[in-house]
Structure 1
């Protein structure tokens, strides 16, 4: 049986890490699987490059949400199925809502019988559960709640960060707040629960519910109106033997975090990936102005030449975000005696 699953989930919930773990596990133990990274910027997404560097069967669909490129999505799915895949997973942008209607119902209406749909899956991390419980930041809470309302399957990710009591409390909260969804605890990072996730996707089916998300309403417009996206790709030649690639990535993420915080804004997710011609790579993640930088994948060897891609989603005016991140790339690169050559840069707000 050839199945397709959408992975929704708020920024920083671990969609890419989980898709990588699931793609690898399913391919090794059941049948060939593939993942698709989807975002609003142009080609060269950090997530897709990370997956490919890690050896995953991965590709990307860019420039807009898969909600609005169903013909291209179906073409990609058919190519992957023809290549022997039995399970394909695609994420959507981390602040996106409405994919249940636009993707699942849209595919069913436009291409009847063409795709077998797995349960609509929404990932959530413990920090998101805490924010939902606290009731702070109404705009972000609206987006998180709307995503979870769409779920057939809620995946509580990063369970390795919780003790037994924390897992039980978060799972109970999600089951009570979203009773129509099944809740599964996993860790994409450690691999815990990935087999159960594979089981749930292959044995389950989409309910095709149509919950009221307030899509297009006042809350939707207010939340989306705050969001901006930033993408930059560049290359730099390392001048000195003492260059520390891990320190560079961390310092750059810190500079962005501090700049966004000083502006009184928030940045739910920044992904910064760099790699060398030899295939070594390093990655840092920033999951909010009040959270530490995570060196999720350190360089193993000294760098002589690096290519880098930075993708960020922020609740921040796009002009402010552009100034902060572009300035940080220039300032921190100069501090580490790098001269970046920029190949692509985009920054835009959801208001246009």
Structure 2
């Protein structure tokens, strides 16, 4: 599993890992996961022509049977040798609720690799009190720290965005607080520094210990503070005036960011894809990972388009109604020049996690 908090770069890391394994002749399958359907992550995986299954409606811990069923479907359809699974970014206690059950119940089918947790260095520095201001409330931060506590490998992602001094301070802080984890630094965006991580995933098996002292009341409260929004929007008119999809995508995300900022809330992750109508493989993708950060394009459309399908996934420590209002405000700002129709929109707070299984002890042992 490739875990980590919202906005850490898990999906980019997973796609980079899939490309690395594929380049070495290994068949790869992906499992994406969210509290609701309509995932940007799944759209990106399909655009990369990867075999992927999506599990919606709860994290792997609460949808454990669905995870096993998804793996079975992938086995039948594409016979992957490597399964990469990305849990919900607000989920923790994965060793006890996913890794150990997989090993002890389905050990004849799966060898579980070390649990990896990807971190955004700027957000990690804020959580550890190393630098930066702003951030999440105590119980949301509690989830973040518990993710790091159970990690076997902590991947410091986006190292190209911070100075060497900041990286050194973060390494020192992580090593002091989470001495059991191996630290790997790199950038999923360009792939630098990540080969040792991919090699460890391929060669090693999990030996993690389940968290003993996790407080599910604090965990549930932290998740309940996060607002969730998944939406699908039709933009433009087939056969109508063409427009620059890359620029429009950035404008929409910037407008949503500004609306959330005006409401005084912290964005955990805002990501979106804009695909050509009728062609899911031709798309633009953009995201931002903090309220004080602007949107960045990771995938670009080659040509202007007349109509497209916009998928938006927004996570923030805010009332879900605030997120819906921010989306509608951004779409209204497009005006008559670019018609926008919301096809589907879900906005809610996650419910209390209720794992299917919770086993304790050391991974790799009965």
TM-score w.r.t. the length of structure 2 is 0.87
Counterparts in 2 of 1:94 and 1:213: CA distance versus 1, 3 Å: farther
1:246 & 1:335 partners in 2: Cα distance?
19
2:235 matched to 1:236?
yes
2:340 & 2:86 partners in 1: Cα distance?
34
2:91 matched to 1:107?
no
Shift of 1:194: 3.4
Moved more, 221-230 or 16-25: 221-230
8 Å contact 1:227–1:349 — kept in the other structure?
yes
Moved more, 188-197 or 80-89: 80-89
What secondary structure sits across from 2:340 in the alignment?
coil
Instruction: Tell me which residue corresponds to 1:250.
Output: 250
Aligned pair partner of 1:94 in 84, 89, 93: 89
8 Å contact 1:248–1:332 — kept in the other structure?
no
2:71 & 2:215 partners in 1: Cα distance?
27
Residue deviations 1:233-252, cap 9 Å, x none? 12233475462212221221
8 Å contact 2:17–2:198 — kept in the other structure?
yes
Shift of 1:112: 4.5
Higher relative contact order, chain-length normalized (CA < 8 Å, sep 6+)? 2
Shift of 1:265: 1.1
2:305 matched to 1:303?
yes
1:299 & 1:228 partners in 2: Cα distance?
30
Aligned pair partner of 1:19 in 11, 14, 17: 14
Shift of 1:109: 4.2
Say how many residue pairs are matched. 343
What secondary structure sits across from 2:21 in the alignment?
helix
1:344 & 1:296 partners in 2: Cα distance?
24
8 Å contact 1:283–1:295 — kept in the other structure?
yes
Q: What residue ranges of structure 1 are gaps of 5+ in the alignment?
A: 1-5
2:209 & 2:92 partners in 1: Cα distance?
14
Shift of 1:30: 4.3
2:317 matched to 1:323?
no
2:126 & 2:314 partners in 1: Cα distance?
20
Shift of 1:205: 1.5
Shift of 1:257: 1.0
Instruction: Tell me which residue corresponds to 2:363.
Output: none
TM-score w.r.t. the length of structure 1 is 0.90
2:254 & 2:65 partners in 1: Cα distance?
40
Q: What residue ranges of structure 2 are gaps of 5+ in the alignment?
A: 353-366
2:124 & 2:347 partners in 1: Cα distance?
29
CA RMSD of aligned residues (A): 2.1
Shift of 1:204: 1.4
Alignment of 1:119-134 (within 5 A): 119-134=114-129
What secondary structure sits across from 1:280 in the alignment?
strand
